[in-house]
Structure 1
Amino acid sequence: MGWNFGDILDAVEPVLPADAPALVHGDRVICWREATRASNNLAQAILKRGAAPGDKLAIYMRNRPEYMIALAAAFKARLTHVNVNYRYTPDEVWYIFDNSDAQTVVYASEFRDAVAQIRHKLPGVTTWIEVSEDGRTAEFAEPFEALTAEGDGAPLSIKRAGDDLLFIYTGGTTGMPKGVMWPHHDLREITLQAARKLGPVPETLEALREHTRKAGPAPAALIAPPLMHGTGLLTAMGVHLAGGCIVTLTGEAFDPVEMLDAIERRRPQSLTIVGDSFARPILEALDAQPGRWDVSSVAAIVSSGVMWSLEVKRGLLRHMPQAVLNDAFSSSEALGMGTSVMTRAGEVQTAKFALTDRCRVFDEDDRAVLPGSGVQGVVALGPPNPIGYYKDVEKTARTFRVIDGVRYSMPGDWCLVEADGSLTLLGRGNACINTAGEKVFPEEVEEALKTHPSVADALVVGLPDPKWGQAVTAVIELAAGQTLDEAVVRAHVRTTLAAYKAPKRIFVADRPLRVSNGKADYPAAKACAETAALSATTPPH
């Protein structure tokens, strides 16, 4: 029947120490006994209210223990998890609920008004469950706390399957969000493939139960990015399924001081971040107050989804020399394309990754790119892969393609394959700028910009231009106390990149350039650039 996350939890939970912490959020500590009882009861309650295996359960909240309890309940009841971006407008949230065919929605009380605005347009949602801060809930919803206390906490007597699904809705840079459909078994197999290279792994539920009994709970992990995005969700799932402890932050926005305080207090062995957007503020806090925090518990830092620069990695290792920095090249529809591991013993250049066994690179004619050839290619990841995008046959056909009899996931990441077989990432094809017939990938220009001391963050977009077709245009956030000297920054970029890649114009951002998970908000950057360009009095260079 294959691996199923509900079965895995049923196997490991009874052999964990009942008082071992499972979920930590600020001062709240929920032990495994409480978490198990709550998720079992919630799963039973949702089924009693009419949900059936395969129905969709949407979770609409910031990071908090209730997210993981609801996720575990979904696994146990054979319901399909749907993540919801809490930064969306009510209409955008409606789209996710409607597109996913959500039957049950678990939401936090801070979003009660948004839910009330759209509820009448969602006849398919038959159960609304509210996580309330003060004990009060909307008249149309049931209280989360009451449902988790309703029952004896016993495991469900239910037969599950490896093809039960988990959805990860991914927004990308263009178009409406799409639900990536992952079978439980295939997600688990990706994890096991990586673990098998390190030694024997449990291959059955009974073996997993016995391994957990002997080894005890997995180490604690601090998950900084939102659980409603792939990086936070998947790393948290891995910790939870291994019987570990998940530490989350309480702030509405990422605060490096809160994170460092939590590291000192809770002593996690691993951290999950999202590239420089998280790592740079952490480094700045450590540099500003060296020795303030004890970060000696951190054995590993894991990142995915956003560029993590060599400069920032070096800085973190000054403060955490014992840590291993694991930079993963992955996306929601292509997990495990490449890895970059850096320690104090050896550096790895920014955006350079070792290809995994499942990864290939093809040119525009579907021919394999030879190492050292200098040919730009598209990264393709072999199975196991998602089934596709929910209710989007056309996009599924474009992304999941068969080449020489193998079905690959090809989200559109362009790269060079170096002579040593490693991969240097160029960028996502749908963000590529065509300027005077030359391809420019925003990511490499952004990294060059961020090495200038006046630039704290940067995004690069293409604006229509009668001379170049598209003009490479940068939107930056200035470092503290700095002003923009456009000519100097442009000249700095030209020291490392070809002149045609240097921005024709550089504007200072008038709005945030990152969304809550640290990923680039290119629509916001483009809107900022368009507004600034209209008011600019000097022509682009």
Structure 2
Amino acid sequence: MSIQPWPTTNWPKGVSREIADFEHPLFSFLDDAARDYPDNVYTIFNGGTRTFAQVKQAADRVANFLAASGIKKGDRVAIFLPNLPHYPEIYFGILKAGAVCVTCNPLYTPSELNYQLKDSGSKVVFCMDHPQFYPTTVQAIQETGVETVVICNVKAFLPPVKRILGALLNKIPKAESHEPGHVMYDEIMASYPAQAPDVEINPSEDLALIIYTGGTTGVPKGAALTHANFVFDVKAMDEWVYLSQEPGAPPEKIRKGGFHCYIGVLPWYHSFGMTMCMLTSCASGSRLICVPDPRAGNPPFTEVLKLVQTYRPTILVGVPTIFSAFENHPLLDKYDLSSLICCASGGAPLPVELAKNFEAKTGSIIFEGYGLSETSPVITGNPSDKDLRLFGSVGFPVSNTDIKIVDSETGITVLPQGEDGEIAVNGPQVMKGYWQKPDADKEVFREIDGKRYFLTGDIGHIDENGYILITDRKKDLILVGGFNCYPREVEEVLFQHPKVAQAAVVGVPDPRSGEAVKAYVQLREGMTATEQEILDFCKEKLAGYKRPRAIEFRDALPTSPVGKVLRRVLKEEAKQK
């Protein structure tokens, strides 16, 4: 084997340290599922369903449309949608056209989306027919290379009765008006044959996605990921997870062919929800419940509980705030969650008591993993065996993956087991690099023992039993409910306020989201402002999870001898409070 055994006696039984056969186009997951399980349901939305055969046909129509619109291999196509049933069809259709998916957060403001469309050079954008999302798109495409806008309405995906009632009661969301020349998704489905163009794909070299992340520092950068990056990560998860899938049955790999049902509470524009939910459900021929807004209902998250009771999902992939929302929901006891067999947690540390309480109430198992957008995302996982997992750790590297702990200064010197340092990873899931940012690549890649390692920016160590523990973050990245918030981006918005002279943003502990954004503001001489005034200003320019939850005004901010604001001092003060 070219990959060394991991230093532990607790390696999960049956899991190979090395796997093969992942050099395939990413859309092969859909093609294979449509061949093997054509009549099995793939997507579920508001009572309406689409089979794998139907989703493949729709993806082929999308690919045909894109090719006819002049999209060529390597061109970028953006998806600006929540978790709607259109998403897998468009996603795989883009890949079948040989193009590169650019996944966009549907909560973005026009300026945030504009930056992403410009930076990626996207030529087409798919958006929702909605009074908020569509106007955002119209504003965002200004001064970009976007030539085609496709508008996606949910009506066609509803059961006939809901379509009629929704139309009569004006409950089906739609924009007030559409710009001339913009294309309706339903027109594509009606006008283009289900015949994808013949495009040669090199899975290890050709890009499948550009996913925007701040990495360890700075404004968002596009992580450029290949087809093989994602195919490997899905197959690695299939190798990793062993479950007892019926009462008293021995552990086995995730069953295929419709036994399982995934609930899509994590957004699919994010690599965690995309890989662990949308792609994994497709690869296993499983059902997928589309959840555009997991917070829907009164109180929030009630609609998700209803979906669990109605459709009986077996697998839930979430960040700790999702499990907390379930566990602390005042109506939890009124809903039957017993269908849940397995839950995967990532994006932020999982509190031990939360995990124990959730398992006690549902009878499922949560196993925690670790990854980044730059790594497709999963690089480590706790064993799915309750006897082998270690709460507080992120487990072991998945197959074909090597982790080293290196010095934080150079990222080259490998540190002894047990010593804290920066986590570096080598594996088939690691991105090619940042989109058109070679200088950023130099910062995060190192050659160690003849192999290319990615520096994660996280600090941790490997304990005496081989478990990886993350102890800190190298930079000031803030994790809000599993989503990355970059202080500099928020600070740039604060500096746009005419009354702000200095600003610094840090993450502070928050019982609901793990961390929340707090801003420290120094006003210009002679100026006055209220906290609400600054918060309202941020609301216009930042997605919800990036907005400060508190503003603290200071006469002066702590600085270094050269005048650099010391965020770490502010963060320490906040912790002490």
Range of TM-score over shorter length: 0.7 to 0.9
Q: Does 1:293 align with 2:335?
A: yes
Deviation at 1:149, TM superposition (A): 2.3
Distance in 2 between residues matched to 1:194 and 1:88, nearest whole Å: 30
Q: SS in structure 2 opposite 1:327?
A: strand
> Which residue number in structure 2 is paired with residue 376 of structure 1?
420
Of the three residues 413, 416, 433, the one matched with 2:461 is 416
> Which residue number in structure 2 is paired with residue 336 of structure 1?
378
CA RMSD, 1 decimal: 3.8
Tell me which amino acid in the other structure corresponds to 2:147: T
Q: SS in structure 2 opposite 1:169?
A: strand
Deviation at 1:58, TM superposition (A): 0.2
Q: 8 Å contact 2:240–2:383 — kept in the other structure?
A: no
Greater helix fraction, Structure 1 or Structure 2: 1
> Which residue number in structure 2 is paired with residue 326 of structure 1?
367
Tell me which amino acid in the other structure corresponds to 1:38: A
Size of the aligned set, in residue pairs, is 454
1:117-148 Cα shifts (integer Å, max 9, x gaps): 233312x2222111134596431310011102
> Which residue number in structure 1 is paired with residue 123 of structure 2?
103
Tell me which amino acid in the other structure corresponds to 1:336: V
> Which residue number in structure 2 is paired with residue 119 of structure 1?
141
Q: 8 Å contact 2:341–2:365 — kept in the other structure?
A: yes
Distance in 1 between residues matched to 2:270 and 2:555, nearest whole Å: 33
Distance 1:419 1:344, change over 3 A: closer
Of the three residues 185, 207, 215, the one matched with 2:228 is 185
Tell me which amino acid in the other structure corresponds to 2:134: R
Bigger relative CO (Cα 8 Å, ≥ 6 apart): 2
Query: Aligned runs of 1:444-459 on 2, under 5 Å?
Result: none
More deviation, 390-399/333-342: 333-342
Q: 8 Å contact 1:13–1:36 — kept in the other structure?
A: yes
Distance in 2 between residues matched to 1:273 and 1:511, nearest whole Å: 28
Q: 8 Å contact 2:264–2:317 — kept in the other structure?
A: yes
Q: Does 1:12 align with 2:42?
A: no
Distance in 2 between residues matched to 1:278 and 1:198, nearest whole Å: 21
Q: SS in structure 1 opposite 2:360?
A: helix
- Please, what TM-score do these two structures have when normalized by structure 1? 0.74
Query: Aligned runs of 1:358-369 on 2, under 5 Å?
Result: 358-364=402-408, 366-369=412-415
Q: 8 Å contact 2:389–2:395 — kept in the other structure?
A: no
Distance 1:106 1:430, change over 3 A: same
Q: SS in structure 1 opposite 2:79?
A: strand
1:257-304 Cα shifts (integer Å, max 9, x gaps): 2222111111111011112x111111012xx44542222221111122
Query: Aligned runs of 1:511-526 on 2, under 5 Å?
Result: 524=548
Deviation at 1:378, TM superposition (A): 0.7
Distance in 1 between residues matched to 2:229 and 2:129, nearest whole Å: 34
Q: Does 1:312 align with 2:312?
A: no
> Which residue number in structure 1 is paired with residue 261 of structure 2?
220
Distance in 2 between residues matched to 1:281 and 1:429, nearest whole Å: 29
Q: Does 1:391 align with 2:436?
A: yes
1:81-111 Cα shifts (integer Å, max 9, x gaps): 0011222221111110010010111111222
1:323-343 Cα shifts (integer Å, max 9, x gaps): 221211101113333212466
Distance in 2 between residues matched to 1:127 and 1:45, nearest whole Å: 11
Tell me which amino acid in the other structure corresponds to 2:343: I
> Which residue number in structure 2 is paired with residue 283 of structure 1?
327
1:503-522 Cα shifts (integer Å, max 9, x gaps): xxxx9xx979xx9xxx9957
Deviation at 1:187, TM superposition (A): 2.3
Q: Does 1:138 align with 2:179?
A: yes
> Which residue number in structure 2 is paired with residue 504 of structure 1?
none
Distance in 1 between residues matched to 2:259 and 2:535, nearest whole Å: 40
> Which residue number in structure 1 is paired with residue 392 of structure 2?
350
More deviation, 399-408/384-393: 399-408
> Which residue number in structure 2 is paired with residue 232 of structure 1?
273
Percent identical pairs in the alignment equals 19
Distance in 2 between residues matched to 1:6 and 1:355, nearest whole Å: 26
Distance in 1 between residues matched to 2:58 and 2:380, nearest whole Å: 37
Tell me which amino acid in the other structure corresponds to 1:282: F
Distance in 2 between residues matched to 1:175 and 1:29, nearest whole Å: 41
Q: SS in structure 1 opposite 2:24?
A: coil
> Which residue number in structure 2 is paired with residue 30 of structure 1?
50
Deviation at 1:523, TM superposition (A): 6.9
Structure 1: 5+ residue stretches without partners = 200-211, 433-441, 448-458, 463-470, 480-506
1:408-439 Cα shifts (integer Å, max 9, x gaps): 1112110132222212211221128xxxxxxx
